[in-house]
Homo-oligomer: A and B are copies of this chain.
Amino acid sequence: MTVSKALRSHTDISEETRTRVMKRARELDYRPNWIARSLVTRRTYVIGLVIPDLMHSFFAEVAKGVTRKFEPLGYHIIISNSEESPEVEERQLELLISRNVDGLIVASAQPNGRRGLFATLGSRKVPYVLIDRMPSGLEAHFVGVKDEEIGVLATEHLIEQGCRRIAHLRGPAVQTGSGRLRGYRRALAKHRLEARPDYVISGQTSDSTGYDAMRHLLTLSPPPDGVFCYNDPVAAGAIKAILESGLSVPNDIAIIGAGNVHYSDLLRVPLSTIDQSSLAIGEKAAELLVHCIESKTPTPIKRILIPPRLVVRESSRRK
């Protein structure tokens, strides 16, 4: 009816009718019912964001970036926690899709090569953008950082600082984990340093696991004199373990993390890290997704790679 058009300020409504409708609407404190509207327009203005862990500042920052772009456009964000589990992630995606979200942004916990994610995502035709972790050999929109470059940057920095026995607390079996490991190995190889297998410990994501893994490294002989950690929380845990054992950071063992989370500067020893522009990742992913959703023609696959940036603080500064 006329009212419906007037309220949405359609063009083919006379100015007079429009103001009259508006006035009466205000009087009645009328609110359009979004649900009913969605039913017919097939748009919900809801975006699903699936991340491994909201408590990790890196993802909280990404979420903030996403929100910042989407809210002014009238979208709301539903954040789902996959807890770094592929199964949970698939279930979350299912749920989100059955809610008719307009689009999805996901930092996938699918291990390399696993395809559950795309079986789920591909069959429906919900637009989506992957962030942070780029599943190998998949054609999908992506926004993130070249992980191998992160690994190289961090490891070469430690080498420059004079470290010769460099260990790596690596992350989970996803792209970010394996990419950073590859970079670490490449840097060691390039500088003809030994890559001791027992210097690489798998599966760290949090400060508590970082702490445990570092305690293990300290029992090796010789212990490492530099450690590249998968992310900042892991690095924070590692620092705690080292200090407790009476050694010094960075003089006995230099530490570098990745992510440049907000509180890195306030840690026990201010943490050197590789900045990944978390906010920007969220914002760019949001922009890309908006484009996918709102443009009529399908958007050609786009991969946005943000260059990593070395941030040197006290935890690795030896000279």
Give Cα distance in the complex from A67 to B7, angstroms.
Answer: 35
List residues of A (257-306) whose CB comes within 8 Å of B's CBs: 262-263, 265-268, 270
Q: How far is the CB of A268 from chain B (nearest CB, A)?
A: 6
Chain B residues with CB under 8 A of A236: 263, 266
Chain B residues with CB under 8 A of A265: 240
Interface residues on chain A, number (Cβ under 8 Å): 45
Q: How far is the CB of A242 from chain B (nearest CB, A)?
A: 12
Stretch at the interface among A13-21, A95-103, A159-167, A214-222: A95-103
Give Cα distance in the complex from A63 to B63, angstroms.
Answer: 13
- Assess A64 versus B55: contact at CB under 8 Å? Given A236-B263, A263-B236: yes
Q: How far is the CB of A196 from chain B (nearest CB, A)?
A: 27
- Assess A63 versus B54: contact at CB under 8 Å? Given A31-B98, A79-B79: yes
Contact A95 B78 (CB under 8 A): no
Stretch at the interface among A33-41, A104-112, A136-144, A169-177: A33-41
Say if the beta carbon of A148 comes within 8 Å of chain B. Answer: no
Chain B residues with CB under 8 A of A76: 78, 80, 95-96, 99
Give Cα distance in the complex from A262 to B57, angstroms.
Answer: 11
Q: How far is the CB of A82 from chain B (nearest CB, A)?
A: 12
Contact A34 B99 (CB under 8 A): yes
Q: How far is the CB of A279 from chain B (nearest CB, A)?
A: 10
Contact A207 B34 (CB under 8 A): no
Chain B residues with CB under 8 A of A64: 54-55, 81
Give Cα distance in the complex from A265 to B31, angstroms.
Answer: 48
Say if the beta carbon of A60 comes within 8 Å of chain B. Answer: yes
Give Cα distance in the complex from A60 to B38, angstroms.
Answer: 30
Chain B residues with CB under 8 A of A267: 263, 266-268
Contact A98 B268 (CB under 8 A): no
Contact B100 A33 (CB under 8 A): yes
Most buried by B among A29, A96, A233, A263: A263
Say if the beta carbon of A197 comes within 8 Å of chain B. Answer: no
Say if the beta carbon of A239 comes within 8 Å of chain B. Answer: yes
Say if the beta carbon of A44 comes within 8 Å of chain B. Answer: yes
Give Cα distance in the complex from A268 to B268, angstroms.
Answer: 3
In-complex Cβ contact of A39 among B36, B44, B57, B96 (8 A): B36
Contact A98 B32 (CB under 8 A): yes
Say if the beta carbon of A237 comes within 8 Å of chain B. Answer: yes
27 A-B Cβ contacts within 8 A?
A: A29-B123, A32-B98, A33-B100, A35-B35, A35-B100, A36-B39, A39-B39, A54-B54, A54-B60, A54-B63, A54-B64, A55-B57, A55-B60, A60-B60, A64-B81, A67-B81, A76-B78, A76-B96, A76-B99, A77-B78, A79-B79, A236-B263, A263-B263, A266-B267, A266-B268, A267-B267, A268-B270
